[in-house]
Chain A
Amino acid sequence: MSKVAIVGTGQTKFSKDDCDVEKLLFESASNCIQSTNNCDSNNIDGVLVSTNNNLKYLGAILSETIGIQPKISHSIEHLCSSGTNAIISAYSYISSGLSDIMLVSGVESATNPGQVLRWDKSRGNFEHPIYWASMLTKSHKRKFQTTEEELAIVSAKNHKHAMDNPFAYSNEPKTISEVMNSKQITDDLRILDCSRSCSGSSSILLASEEKAKAISDQPIWITGIGQKTTSASFTKNILEEIKSTRIAANSAYKMAKIESKNIDVAEVHDAFSVCELMAISELGIAPNGKSGEFVRDLFNTENRMINPRGGLIGAGHPLGATGISQTIEITNQLQGKSNKRQISNVKTGLIHNMSAAGTSSSIMVLEN
């Protein structure tokens, strides 16, 4: 397989308001193309759109609105990890030689239908993600003696990081106490433990090794990819684990020829506070059963290693765009362009995204 690089990025600000999907797509794609060194749009031979929106033919619509006629254009949907899967699909097109330069654009409106998986009849009347999140949280507390304060630290940390992210839906800080005293949704979940569905769009440009160096002074290489789907039904999960993440991480590490200890910075899927604790453990970044202590230490030492842009909780969660924004953050970190969020000496970064209570996970390793 030939090498594939990230050579351009563009985003819109995330918002709680419903916004026009086609306009958002155009805005992030336009910002993305402008971020490159004179990339002629006509050289983009593939356009992928990741979204949970029911609008049709968005790959072709985006192509027309940016004035190109690519070989490849279509949409990709996989609930929360749609964006990551779209990037991996674009990687595959390029590494196989079917494409040279691919534009991947994710988009969502705040009221999108991607939050509820109606097919999953095992959820009964408890369709909304807050119910599976309550089960995972209660189970994590039971197995690992995770405290309410440790869960609140995840949210306080990510809100703090989001203050320095100009694309986050909110830049308001939240203290641990504010999180712990925020509106109670269930006995095991507060409103500030939850990410918020948003409108927003993110775009990324990928290129083959041959094309990358002409388009970008600092191409960032995708060196590891891992994916795993264990089911679609939430109730087939083992509550204390995210098996799909563990398997996908091992595949990505093997492909990149690294170990978890080599990860300098990671964007992980924190749809709910407990998800971050579970993810960093399954990724091998935090010792098993010690992820609460690990996050507390990050917070106390102002170490931004996990979710420097604020994660889903701090930045917002426009499902189809989330995985692309996560990837842009790690790209910027590896390029040294993260401004106040910048972590020093970053060589290797990781993106973790997952869908439907972790029944499917997608992971990428990036290196500069």
Chain B
Amino acid sequence: MTFFEDQLGEGVFQICYCKNCNNTIWPSKETCHICHNKTDWKKSRNIGKIIEFSKREFMYFGLIEIDDGIRVLGDISSTSTPKIDQTVRMSVSFNSKPNYSFIVENN
């Protein structure tokens, strides 16, 4: 398991970035592909916005943009139909693959 995956298992989405050139590195890796210095980590704010969504059976899912323009696919919990650009709160876990879950704020 990678550090990123380990941390997802602890419920933390770690953002990989390069201190030297101030770039966010996604997908995360140990070395910056621009300046080749060792990368560093910072915790996500766990806040995102809905870029697009659909629904399978009773579950909404969609493309969410979180910190620094990183986008992931995850499930969306909402009592009503989600909206584009709506703010969502993220929780994460890891069980053989990443799981990104989002709840619409002020549901």
- Tell me which of B17-25, B35-43, B72-80 binds A: B72-80
Taking CB atoms and an 8 Å cut-off, the chain A residues in 101-154 that contact chain B are: 118-127, 131-132, 134-135, 137-139, 142
Give bound CA distance, A127 to B73, whole Å. 9
Contact of A187 with B73 in the complex, beta carbons under 8 Å: no
Interface residues on B, range: 20 to 34
Counting CB contacts under 8 A, is A252 at the interface? no
Contact of A122 with B26 in the complex, beta carbons under 8 Å: yes
Contact of B99 with A239 in the complex, beta carbons under 8 Å: no
**Among the interface residues A139, A186, A235, which one has the most CB atoms of the partner chain B within 10 A?**
A235
Q: Which residues of B contact A135 (CB under 8 A)?
A: 52, 54, 62-63, 73
**Whole-angstrom distance between the Cβ of B8 and the nearest chain A Cβ:** 9
Contact of B99 with A124 in the complex, beta carbons under 8 Å: yes
Given contacts A122-B26, A131-B61, contact A235 B71 (CB under 8 A): yes
Closest residue of chain B to A122 (Cβ to Cβ) is B72
Contact of B53 among A120, A138, A185 (CB under 8 A): A138
Q: Which residues of A contact B100 (CB under 8 A)?
A: 124-125
Contact of B56 with A233 in the complex, beta carbons under 8 Å: no
Counting CB contacts under 8 A, is A188 at the interface? yes
Contact of A235 with B55 in the complex, beta carbons under 8 Å: no
Counting CB contacts under 8 A, is A236 at the interface? yes
Taking CB atoms and an 8 Å cut-off, the chain B residues in 49-107 that contact chain A are: 51-56, 61-63, 70-75, 84, 97-100
Given contacts A122-B72, A187-B55, contact A239 B98 (CB under 8 A): no
Q: List 14 A-B contacts (CB under 8 A).
A: A119-B27, A122-B26, A122-B27, A122-B70, A124-B73, A124-B99, A125-B100, A132-B73, A135-B52, A135-B62, A186-B55, A233-B26, A235-B71, A239-B51
Listed in ascending order, the chain A residues whose CB lies under 8 Å from chain B are 118-127, 131-132, 134-135, 137-139, 142, 185-189, 233-236, 239
